A = this chain, B = another copy of it.
Amino acid sequence: MLPFARVTVIGLGLIGSSIAHAVRANMPTVRVTGFDGDADVRARARAIDLCDDVADGAGAAVIDADLVMLCVPVGAIGTAAEAIADDLPADAVVSDVGGAKASVAAAMRAALPAATIVPGHPVAGTEQSGPDAGFATLFKGRWCILTPDGDTDPAAVMRVSTFWERLGAEVEIMDARHHDLVLAVTSHVPHLIAYSIVGTASDLEEVTQSEVIKFSAGGFRDFTRIAASDPTMWRDVFLNNREAVLEVLQRLTEDVTMLQRAIRWGDGDALFDLFTRTRAVRRSIIEQGQDDARPDFGRPHE
Protein backbone atom coordinates (compact mmCIF):
# COMPACT_ATOMS: atom_id res chain seq x y z
CA MET A 1 0.00 0.00 0.00
CA LEU A 2 1.74 3.14 -1.22
CA PRO A 3 0.78 6.25 0.75
CA PHE A 4 1.05 8.46 -2.37
CA ALA A 5 1.26 7.77 -6.09
CA ARG A 6 2.41 11.14 -7.47
CA VAL A 7 4.94 13.09 -5.40
CA THR A 8 6.09 16.58 -6.31
CA VAL A 9 9.29 17.96 -4.83
CA ILE A 10 9.62 21.75 -4.88
CA GLY A 11 13.25 22.73 -4.29
CA LEU A 12 15.94 20.32 -5.51
CA GLY A 13 18.78 20.87 -3.03
CA LEU A 14 20.30 18.26 -0.71
CA ILE A 15 17.00 17.28 0.94
CA GLY A 16 14.75 17.57 -2.10
CA SER A 17 17.09 15.59 -4.33
CA SER A 18 17.56 12.97 -1.59
CA ILE A 19 13.78 12.55 -1.38
CA ALA A 20 13.66 12.07 -5.16
CA HIS A 21 16.41 9.42 -5.00
CA ALA A 22 14.85 7.73 -1.97
CA VAL A 23 11.37 7.55 -3.51
CA ARG A 24 12.81 5.97 -6.64
CA ALA A 25 14.83 3.49 -4.58
CA ASN A 26 12.04 2.53 -2.18
CA MET A 27 8.80 3.12 -4.09
CA PRO A 28 9.79 2.74 -7.77
CA THR A 29 6.23 2.91 -9.08
CA VAL A 30 5.65 6.37 -7.60
CA ARG A 31 5.93 9.19 -10.11
CA VAL A 32 8.27 11.96 -8.97
CA THR A 33 7.97 15.46 -10.40
CA GLY A 34 10.49 18.13 -9.50
CA PHE A 35 10.68 21.90 -9.68
CA ASP A 36 13.28 24.42 -8.58
CA GLY A 37 13.15 28.20 -8.85
CA ASP A 38 16.68 28.21 -10.24
CA ALA A 39 16.83 27.34 -13.96
CA ASP A 40 20.38 26.00 -13.59
CA VAL A 41 19.23 23.59 -10.90
CA ARG A 42 16.36 22.43 -13.11
CA ALA A 43 18.80 21.84 -15.96
CA ARG A 44 21.12 19.91 -13.68
CA ALA A 45 18.23 17.82 -12.30
CA ARG A 46 17.29 16.90 -15.88
CA ALA A 47 20.89 16.11 -16.76
CA ILE A 48 21.26 13.65 -13.88
CA ASP A 49 17.74 12.26 -14.43
CA LEU A 50 16.76 13.05 -10.85
CA CYS A 51 12.98 12.90 -11.38
CA ASP A 52 10.50 11.42 -13.83
CA ASP A 53 9.75 14.97 -14.88
CA VAL A 54 11.18 18.40 -14.07
CA ALA A 55 8.52 21.07 -14.57
CA ASP A 56 9.25 24.63 -15.66
CA GLY A 57 6.79 26.19 -13.22
CA ALA A 58 5.64 25.49 -9.69
CA GLY A 59 1.99 25.36 -10.73
CA ALA A 60 2.62 22.87 -13.53
CA ALA A 61 4.67 20.74 -11.12
CA VAL A 62 1.81 20.20 -8.66
CA ILE A 63 -1.14 19.96 -10.99
CA ASP A 64 -1.68 16.21 -10.54
CA ALA A 65 0.26 15.62 -7.31
CA ASP A 66 -1.15 13.83 -4.29
CA LEU A 67 1.84 14.84 -2.12
CA VAL A 68 3.72 18.11 -2.48
CA MET A 69 6.96 18.39 -0.50
CA LEU A 70 8.25 21.93 -0.12
CA CYS A 71 12.04 21.57 0.21
CA VAL A 72 13.11 25.21 0.11
CA PRO A 73 14.85 27.28 2.81
CA VAL A 74 12.35 28.13 5.54
CA GLY A 75 12.38 31.82 4.64
CA ALA A 76 11.10 30.94 1.16
CA ILE A 77 8.31 28.58 2.25
CA GLY A 78 5.56 31.22 2.11
CA THR A 79 6.51 32.24 -1.43
CA ALA A 80 6.77 28.60 -2.53
CA ALA A 81 3.34 27.84 -1.06
CA GLU A 82 1.83 30.88 -2.79
CA ALA A 83 3.30 29.76 -6.11
CA ILE A 84 1.39 26.45 -6.00
CA ALA A 85 -1.87 27.81 -4.52
CA ASP A 86 -3.80 28.16 -7.81
CA ASP A 87 -2.88 24.73 -9.16
CA LEU A 88 -2.85 22.54 -6.06
CA PRO A 89 -5.40 19.68 -6.32
CA ALA A 90 -8.02 19.88 -3.54
CA ASP A 91 -7.16 16.42 -2.22
CA ALA A 92 -3.38 16.83 -2.27
CA VAL A 93 -1.38 16.78 0.97
CA VAL A 94 1.24 19.49 1.43
CA SER A 95 4.29 18.88 3.59
CA ASP A 96 7.74 20.39 4.00
CA VAL A 97 11.18 19.66 5.44
CA GLY A 98 11.97 22.96 7.18
CA GLY A 99 14.16 23.07 10.28
CA ALA A 100 11.87 25.54 12.09
CA LYS A 101 8.26 24.49 12.36
CA ALA A 102 6.02 27.07 14.10
CA SER A 103 6.78 29.92 11.69
CA VAL A 104 6.81 27.64 8.66
CA ALA A 105 3.44 26.11 9.49
CA ALA A 106 1.98 29.61 9.83
CA ALA A 107 3.42 30.65 6.46
CA MET A 108 2.04 27.56 4.71
CA ARG A 109 -1.37 27.97 6.35
CA ALA A 110 -1.55 31.66 5.31
CA ALA A 111 -0.72 30.84 1.68
CA LEU A 112 -2.89 27.70 1.47
CA PRO A 113 -5.84 28.26 3.82
CA ALA A 114 -7.88 25.32 2.49
CA ALA A 115 -5.12 22.75 1.98
CA THR A 116 -4.31 19.65 4.05
CA ILE A 117 -0.94 20.53 5.57
CA VAL A 118 1.33 18.18 7.54
CA PRO A 119 4.54 20.06 8.41
CA GLY A 120 7.60 17.82 8.74
CA HIS A 121 11.31 17.87 9.41
CA PRO A 122 13.68 14.98 8.64
CA VAL A 123 16.59 15.35 11.08
CA ALA A 124 19.22 14.35 8.55
CA GLY A 125 21.67 16.03 6.25
CA THR A 126 25.28 16.57 5.34
CA GLU A 127 27.33 19.73 4.91
CA GLN A 128 26.87 19.52 1.13
CA SER A 129 24.13 21.24 -0.82
CA GLY A 130 22.58 21.35 -4.29
CA PRO A 131 20.97 18.76 -6.60
CA ASP A 132 24.14 16.66 -6.86
CA ALA A 133 24.44 16.27 -3.09
CA GLY A 134 21.37 14.07 -2.62
CA PHE A 135 21.43 10.30 -2.12
CA ALA A 136 18.79 7.65 -1.49
CA THR A 137 19.87 6.54 2.00
CA LEU A 138 20.11 9.95 3.67
CA PHE A 139 17.02 9.32 5.81
CA LYS A 140 17.75 5.70 6.74
CA GLY A 141 17.77 5.24 10.52
CA ARG A 142 17.19 8.97 11.08
CA TRP A 143 14.15 10.54 12.70
CA CYS A 144 11.53 12.60 10.90
CA ILE A 145 9.41 14.85 13.10
CA LEU A 146 5.86 15.75 12.02
CA THR A 147 4.12 18.69 13.65
CA PRO A 148 0.44 18.63 12.61
CA ASP A 149 -1.88 20.92 14.54
CA GLY A 150 -5.04 19.65 16.25
CA ASP A 151 -7.21 20.29 13.16
CA THR A 152 -5.15 18.20 10.74
CA ASP A 153 -6.85 15.15 9.20
CA PRO A 154 -5.31 12.12 11.03
CA ALA A 155 -5.44 10.07 7.81
CA ALA A 156 -3.17 12.61 6.11
CA VAL A 157 -0.74 12.53 9.03
CA MET A 158 -0.68 8.74 8.81
CA ARG A 159 0.03 8.82 5.05
CA VAL A 160 2.92 11.28 5.45
CA SER A 161 4.21 9.17 8.32
CA THR A 162 4.12 6.04 6.16
CA PHE A 163 5.84 7.94 3.35
CA TRP A 164 8.82 8.73 5.60
CA GLU A 165 8.94 5.21 6.98
CA ARG A 166 9.12 3.89 3.44
CA LEU A 167 12.17 6.10 2.93
CA GLY A 168 13.82 4.43 5.94
CA ALA A 169 13.08 7.03 8.62
CA GLU A 170 11.45 6.68 12.01
CA VAL A 171 8.65 9.14 12.69
CA GLU A 172 7.81 11.13 15.80
CA ILE A 173 4.91 13.51 16.14
CA MET A 174 5.19 16.57 18.35
CA ASP A 175 3.98 20.09 18.87
CA ALA A 176 5.61 22.67 16.58
CA ARG A 177 6.86 24.84 19.46
CA HIS A 178 8.38 21.86 21.21
CA HIS A 179 10.08 20.82 17.97
CA ASP A 180 11.59 24.27 17.71
CA LEU A 181 13.06 24.08 21.20
CA VAL A 182 14.39 20.53 20.75
CA LEU A 183 16.03 21.43 17.45
CA ALA A 184 17.46 24.64 18.89
CA VAL A 185 19.39 22.39 21.26
CA THR A 186 20.31 19.50 18.97
CA SER A 187 20.95 21.42 15.78
CA HIS A 188 20.54 25.18 15.62
CA VAL A 189 22.76 26.32 18.50
CA PRO A 190 25.47 23.76 17.62
CA HIS A 191 25.50 25.20 14.09
CA LEU A 192 25.60 28.77 15.36
CA ILE A 193 28.51 28.01 17.66
CA ALA A 194 30.37 26.16 14.92
CA TYR A 195 29.95 29.09 12.52
CA SER A 196 31.01 31.46 15.26
CA ILE A 197 34.14 29.61 16.31
CA VAL A 198 35.31 29.32 12.71
CA GLY A 199 34.79 33.07 12.37
CA THR A 200 36.65 33.81 15.61
CA ALA A 201 39.60 31.67 14.52
CA SER A 202 39.77 33.44 11.17
CA ASP A 203 39.87 36.85 12.78
CA LEU A 204 42.67 36.41 15.36
CA GLU A 205 45.58 38.71 14.58
CA GLU A 206 48.20 36.61 16.37
CA VAL A 207 47.36 33.29 14.68
CA THR A 208 47.60 32.98 10.90
CA GLN A 209 44.96 31.35 8.72
CA SER A 210 47.62 28.88 7.65
CA GLU A 211 48.21 27.81 11.26
CA VAL A 212 44.49 27.39 11.90
CA ILE A 213 44.28 25.07 8.90
CA LYS A 214 47.45 23.06 9.59
CA PHE A 215 46.58 22.35 13.20
CA SER A 216 42.84 21.89 12.71
CA ALA A 217 42.99 18.16 13.52
CA GLY A 218 43.03 19.12 17.20
CA GLY A 219 39.24 19.47 17.09
CA PHE A 220 38.60 22.60 15.04
CA ARG A 221 38.15 20.72 11.75
CA ASP A 222 34.97 19.08 13.09
CA PHE A 223 33.42 22.51 13.53
CA THR A 224 34.37 23.54 9.99
CA ARG A 225 32.29 20.70 8.55
CA ILE A 226 29.17 22.01 10.23
CA ALA A 227 30.14 25.57 9.35
CA ALA A 228 30.28 24.58 5.67
CA SER A 229 26.51 24.06 5.53
CA ASP A 230 24.27 26.09 3.25
CA PRO A 231 24.32 29.79 4.30
CA THR A 232 20.83 30.65 3.05
CA MET A 233 19.21 27.69 4.73
CA TRP A 234 20.88 28.46 8.04
CA ARG A 235 20.26 32.20 7.96
CA ASP A 236 16.57 31.41 7.51
CA VAL A 237 16.51 28.87 10.33
CA PHE A 238 17.90 31.38 12.80
CA LEU A 239 15.55 34.15 11.71
CA ASN A 240 12.59 31.76 11.94
CA ASN A 241 13.42 30.13 15.26
CA ARG A 242 14.57 33.25 17.06
CA GLU A 243 12.96 32.71 20.43
CA ALA A 244 14.10 29.14 21.07
CA VAL A 245 17.62 29.77 19.69
CA LEU A 246 18.07 32.82 21.92
CA GLU A 247 16.82 30.91 24.96
CA VAL A 248 19.19 27.97 24.46
CA LEU A 249 22.06 30.32 23.59
CA GLN A 250 21.50 32.16 26.86
CA ARG A 251 21.71 28.87 28.77
CA LEU A 252 24.88 27.92 26.92
CA THR A 253 26.46 31.30 27.65
CA GLU A 254 25.79 30.84 31.36
CA ASP A 255 27.35 27.37 31.28
CA VAL A 256 30.40 28.56 29.34
CA THR A 257 30.81 31.42 31.81
CA MET A 258 30.79 28.88 34.65
CA LEU A 259 33.56 26.90 32.91
CA GLN A 260 35.50 30.10 32.22
CA ARG A 261 35.38 30.89 35.91
CA ALA A 262 36.45 27.32 36.81
CA ILE A 263 39.49 27.68 34.53
CA ARG A 264 40.36 31.12 35.90
CA TRP A 265 40.20 29.90 39.51
CA GLY A 266 41.78 26.53 38.82
CA ASP A 267 38.72 24.50 39.83
CA GLY A 268 39.76 21.19 38.24
CA ASP A 269 36.98 19.20 39.91
CA ALA A 270 34.24 21.23 38.24
CA LEU A 271 35.87 20.62 34.85
CA PHE A 272 36.46 16.92 35.51
CA ASP A 273 32.87 16.36 36.65
CA LEU A 274 31.39 17.87 33.49
CA PHE A 275 33.89 16.10 31.22
CA THR A 276 32.96 12.76 32.77
CA ARG A 277 29.22 13.34 32.53
CA THR A 278 29.32 14.18 28.82
CA ARG A 279 30.85 10.79 27.89
CA ALA A 280 27.59 9.03 28.83
CA VAL A 281 25.65 11.07 26.26
CA ARG A 282 27.98 9.92 23.51
CA ARG A 283 27.54 6.29 24.54
CA SER A 284 23.74 6.57 24.37
CA ILE A 285 23.86 8.16 20.92
CA ILE A 286 25.97 5.30 19.61
CA GLU A 287 23.84 2.65 21.34
CA GLN A 288 20.75 4.10 19.70
CA GLY A 289 22.31 4.02 16.26
CA GLN A 290 22.46 7.78 15.80
CA ASP A 291 26.22 7.90 15.21
CA ASP A 292 29.16 5.81 14.10
CA ALA A 293 30.91 3.88 16.88
CA ARG A 294 34.27 3.94 15.09
CA PRO A 295 36.89 6.34 16.47
CA ASP A 296 36.94 9.74 14.79
CA PHE A 297 33.67 9.03 12.90
CA GLY A 298 35.61 6.38 10.98
CA ARG A 299 37.88 8.91 9.30
CA PRO A 300 40.68 7.15 7.45
CA HIS A 301 44.10 7.30 9.12
CA GLU A 302 46.32 6.27 6.26
Does A111 count as interface, using CB distance less than 8 angstroms? Answer: no
Q: Which of A251-275 contact B (CB under 8 A)?
A: 251-253, 255-256, 259-260, 263-264, 266, 268, 271-272, 274-275
Q: A interface, by DSSP: helix, strand, loop or mixed?
A: helix
Does A204 count as interface, using CB distance less than 8 angstroms? Answer: yes
Cβ-defined partner of A285 (8 Å) among B207, B213, B232: B213
Distance in Å: Cβ of A134 to nearest Cβ of chain B: 10
Does A198 count as interface, using CB distance less than 8 angstroms? Answer: yes
- Cα distance A300–B142 when bound, in Å? 12
* B295 and A218 form a contact (CB under 8 A): no
* B222 and A302 form a contact (CB under 8 A): no
Distance in Å: Cβ of A234 to nearest Cβ of chain B: 5
* A186 and B216 form a contact (CB under 8 A): yes
With contacts A126-B295, A133-B295, A298-B299 known, is A220 near B185, CB below 8 A?
yes
Chain B residue contacts of A301, Cβ below 8 A? 135, 137-138, 140
Chain B residue contacts of A206, Cβ below 8 A? 178, 181
User: Which of A56-64, A82-90, A286-294 faces chain B?
Assistant: A286-294
Number of copies: 2
Chain B residue contacts of A227, Cβ below 8 A? 275, 278-279, 281-282
Chain B residue contacts of A275, Cβ below 8 A? 195, 227, 229, 231, 234-235
Chain B residue contacts of A283, Cβ below 8 A? 228
Q: Which of A188-236 contact B (CB under 8 A)?
A: 188-204, 206-207, 209, 211-229, 231-232, 234-236
* B281 and A202 form a contact (CB under 8 A): yes
Given contacts A216-B290, A227-B275, A234-B271, 15 further A-B contacts (CB under 8 A): A75-B268, A128-B295, A133-B295, A143-B215, A185-B220, A186-B201, A188-B218, A199-B274, A200-B248, A200-B251, A203-B251, A222-B225, A224-B285, A238-B271, A249-B256
